[in-house]
Structure 1
């Protein structure tokens, strides 16, 4: 059995079957009603999934990203008015990828780089995207969402092979509820972000508008990994390319709102794969969009020891534990550094 769950091709087959079963279970738990007439339907605390419902051990993957398949995954927690609050459309929308059990990580982000008021005069909105936990004992984030009103929970299991689907459901939310945002940041939770550097040095520099803008740590000329035990294993029959197209590293990249809508649209016609960053790269390749290289080394992806003046010259550092983030953030906000 272990070999089955470590084989992405079989996971796709089993995930497809389990996906249909999960959707049926969701509908059954709601008395047979899957959606309201409003495409932004969002059940609240008393109208959520039956807490006693046992989910099968499934790995759901984005086999299809057409209109029908994405509509099969409702937003169980949703805030459709997030971008229409007073002040106008956001300059930057942060879509932070977390899991249901990552409550303390989200709390650390809210008090540090995810604070929407961190840059005076710049409208920033932050939302945390998650799927469903397969652990029935896992606490459900209803109380957390009632307090902070910043969670997007989608009706599929939150697994490693569902990261592409999680990202594209985030982009679908942008298309439905926040199409006028200037930039969208896709970011994992285990980072330290420097919002001021990202906005002032990266997004507000150069020519405007930039409808096909996307930047981040960039990978080029990488070959698919053929070792089945590797978490980024790519079955040869899933992707025919000998090298991946240029793509931004999965932990974080930022793209213009217009490009986010284009990527979402083309994704419905590109054969989906489970590696989220490569899939986005394939979508960009089909769109004919080239990555924009920012200043060198502003998105380090292999970890750094914290030094305030070094970190102030980065847009983002990955990985970075949230416990450490809370400790260093007060120091990070102190004073200036040479050459600033």
Structure 2
């Protein structure tokens, strides 16, 4: 049997630097070929990306094809929890750190966890980045990719891709968590406080940091602009903030089905709220402080009793993880 050895963090960082150098080299080549185009202009769309996105009247699906897929992951087991982690094609170091920390599928003894990274196609350097992504996929078998362009404005499509994958290839999953790649996640506490494997599974359930009365932006210059003809109301219905939220397996298929009847907005978490509203389901409030959309400085006893903290990169994650998992220091209420 061929054995694979996990690369060290330094190897991954070197790999990332090499990939960045390759991208910059290709930019230089393209600039020289064009004669005048600077890097900013090469990367800048010719028109407002938000306006262009809505001019497409995007709905899901739009005949997207899986470039990378793992259709057999759930054939021999039924995961209790599927982690759908949002990443970009170039996020090698982030994926590597997550695999070693909160994305470790063997983290909770006796509980079946499945980790998948969701990504699209690099918007500029698709071919060279794709080659490295395919090599990573062949090694870890945990990357799902469809052929839409990977940009912020396609984030909703990326999340819906994950839900499509669940519906097609893992429909019996008990719970699903959508997670950004720049969070700290306490899977143990998530299990013990919210999912509670010893109890019957919840139905029509979504929880996280529930946002209320968020204003919908109708100014074209705003990052969160949504045309009034797409969403005319002044505020969005309640929704779970995007860095990390949990939903029951039965709700995934329902959201995917109702999403196909609606115009998709690029504000992914707000769109999930619109789907819940259409389904007549309300997000479930969790205890205050379990899901943090802002960064909190690490302290073991604090982090041991929360689920999500936003804005933790791979270096910080790998630094705090050994201390969090160490048994010698205990926390008492």
TM bracket (short chain)? 0.7 to 0.9
Whether 1:80 aligns to 2:75 is no
Deviation at 1:139, TM superposition (A): 5.3
Unpaired segments ≥5 residues, structure 2: 1-40
Residue of structure 2 in register with 1:123 after alignment: 112
Check whether the contact 2:211–2:239 (CA below 8 A) recurs between aligned residues: yes
Which string of whole-angstrom CA distances, capped at 9 and with x for unpartnered residues, describes residues 278-319 of structure 1? 111011001111111122110011111111111111101001
> Normalised by the size of structure 1, how large is the TM-score?
0.80
Which of the residues 93, 96, 104 maps onto 1:107? 96
Residue of structure 1 in register with 2:60 after alignment: 65
Once residues 213 and 337 of structure 1 are traced to their aligned partners in structure 2, the CA distance between those partners, rounded to angstroms, is 32
> Normalised by the size of structure 2, how large is the TM-score?
0.82
RMSD: 1.9
Once residues 142 and 316 of structure 2 are traced to their aligned partners in structure 1, the CA distance between those partners, rounded to angstroms, is 23
Which one has the bigger helix percentage?
Answer: 2
Check whether the contact 1:215–1:291 (CA below 8 A) recurs between aligned residues: yes
Check whether the contact 1:247–1:278 (CA below 8 A) recurs between aligned residues: yes
Which string of whole-angstrom CA distances, capped at 9 and with x for unpartnered residues, describes residues 56-104 of structure 1? xxxxxx71125xx2xx11111111111223xx30000000000100011
Once residues 98 and 236 of structure 2 are traced to their aligned partners in structure 1, the CA distance between those partners, rounded to angstroms, is 32
Deviation at 1:206, TM superposition (A): 9.6
Once residues 142 and 49 of structure 2 are traced to their aligned partners in structure 1, the CA distance between those partners, rounded to angstroms, is 35
Once residues 296 and 107 of structure 1 are traced to their aligned partners in structure 2, the CA distance between those partners, rounded to angstroms, is 30
Once residues 328 and 102 of structure 1 are traced to their aligned partners in structure 2, the CA distance between those partners, rounded to angstroms, is 20
Residue of structure 1 in register with 2:48 after alignment: 6
Deviation at 1:199, TM superposition (A): 1.1
Residue of structure 1 in register with 2:11 after alignment: none
Residue of structure 1 in register with 2:215 after alignment: 223
Residue of structure 2 in register with 1:90 after alignment: 79
SS in 2 for 1:163: helix
Residue of structure 2 in register with 1:39 after alignment: none
